[in-house]
Amino acid sequence: MKYMTKILCCNFIFIIILLSAQTYDFNKEVIYIFENGNRKSESIIYVNTKNDTYYLKIFRNEEKSFARLYDFKKNRIHHYDLIEIKGRNDKFDLKYIDSERYYDHLGMNYNSYGYEFLENSGKNLLNIYQTKKKKKIYKNFEFETEENEENLFPAFRISCLHPFEYNNQLTFNKNVVVKKSKITYKENTCDCNLKKIENINFTLNIP
């Protein structure tokens, strides 16, 4: 009888763990190339086109490769080791490390800025103003789009619209993918252009 009770308790605990685990689904890999003068870097992210409240970002450098899963809704960041598969630069495994509260983006009061989408000669413009009165531009984004089955503007925002990547109210209400963009900030300009979009299908479970 005690043995049966122990089995039931273990099963109950296992069910509770499964129910409490957070599940994140991803269906697109999106890569943008960011160029600023002689500096060039890749932004590799995984997104769910039905839910832009989270994304997975891949970090690769000579010292270490790792990944971070950002959850805007729960203000959580989940850390992973990225294990490369030998002979396959585009394949890897993820090993969960830990999770923590994430507040860095909460210092940005997105509601205090002014936003304006315009269209000029077939190109789209996004002006972000320092205040809601829209008198002085903080940043300007000129971007070219292409029609798409799904709206991939959130992937562009996450990759290129720093420090507004966490503002999921900043959206473009058309099913498009942003192919090219030029960003102007004060006297500086840089480019953020699409390199790759690929359909994927995988899920991460966070304990």
Q: What integer pLDDT is reported at residue 192 of this predicted model? A: 96
Whole-prediction pTM value?
0.82
Q: What confidence score (pLDDT) does residue 78 get?
A: 95
Q: Could you write out the three-class secondary structure of the chain?
A: CHHHHHHHHHHHHHHHHHHHCEEEEEEEEEEEEEEECCEEEEEEEEEECCEEEEEEEEEECCCCEEEEEEECCCCEEEEEEEEEECCEEEEEEEEEEEEEECCHHHHCCHHHCEEEEEEECCEEEEEEECCCCCCCEEEEEEEEEEECCCCCHHHHHHHHCCCCCCCCCCCCCCCEEEEEEEEEECCEEEEEEEEEEEEEEEEEEEC
The pLDDT assigned to 57 comes to: 94
- For residue 103, the model assigns a pLDDT of 72
pLDDT of the chain, 207 residues: tens digit per residue: 444 443 433 444 333 333 456 899 999 999 999 998 888 899 999 999 999 899 999 988 767 789 999 998 888 999 999 887 665 555 678 899 999 997 766 678 899 999 999 987 778 999 999 999 999 999 999 999 999 999 999 999 999 998 999 888 898 888 999 999 999 998 899 999 999 999 999 899 887
Instruction: State the pLDDT at residue 89.
Output: 57
